[in-house]
């Protein structure tokens, strides 16, 4: 799969008293891009219900490089940076770019899958594994062993 990215419209309600993007909105935008990517590749909320599982996050980290203001046009991409071979655990990186190509923010996260009924971590089925295998991978992508 080629790189996945999504243009984001900054809303007035996303801006803080310093006239730039509130810190928590970066995480919301990352979630919007991930769920859009998942959905466009068949991992819809209905599919997750059918599979009785969903993605969960263990860690999110934002690295702020340049501020985003209300008038800025931004695009956010998504790529896998790490995964176990069965995609039971994975890491994703988002880049936030301004219209002129300036890198504004890097958002890193580590995630896994939860069995909704058992409320326990689980290994995704082959359907999810195939989709995740096709996701764009970072230049520094690495396979990891589950500990």
- What domains can be seen in the chain, in order of their start residue? 4-140 (3.10.129.10)
Pair 57, 114: CB distance under 8 Å = no
Q: Across residues 3-30, what is the average pLDDT?
A: 96
pTM: 0.94
Pair 142, 9: CB distance under 8 Å = no
Phi and psi for 104 in degrees, rounded to 5? -95, -45
Across the chain, mean pLDDT equals 96
Q: Across residues 90-105, what is the average pLDDT?
A: 98
- What is the tens place of the pLDDT at every residue in 63-85? 999 999 999 999 999 999 999 99
Pair 6, 33: CB distance under 8 Å = yes
Write down the residue that tokens 């996701």 correspond to: 135
């Amino acid at each position: 799969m080629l790189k996945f990215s999504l243009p984001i419209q900054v809303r007035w309600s996303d801006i803080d008293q310093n006239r730039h993007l509130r810190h928590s909105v970066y995480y919301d935008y990352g979630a919007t891009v991930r769920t859009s990517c998942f959905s466009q590749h068949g991992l819809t909320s209905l599919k997750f219900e059918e599979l009785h599982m969903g993605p969960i996050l263990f860690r999110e980290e934002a690295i702020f490089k340049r501020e985003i203001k209300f008038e800025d046009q931004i695009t956010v991409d998504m790529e896998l940076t790490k995964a176990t071979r069965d995609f039971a655990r994975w890491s994703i990186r988002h880049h936030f770019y301004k219209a002129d190509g300036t890198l504004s923010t890097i958002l890193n996260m580590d995630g896994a899958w939860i069995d909704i009924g058992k409320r326990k971590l689980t290994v995704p089925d082959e359907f999810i594994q195939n989709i995740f295998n096709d996701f764009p991978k970072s230049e520094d992508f690495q396979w990891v062993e589950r500990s």
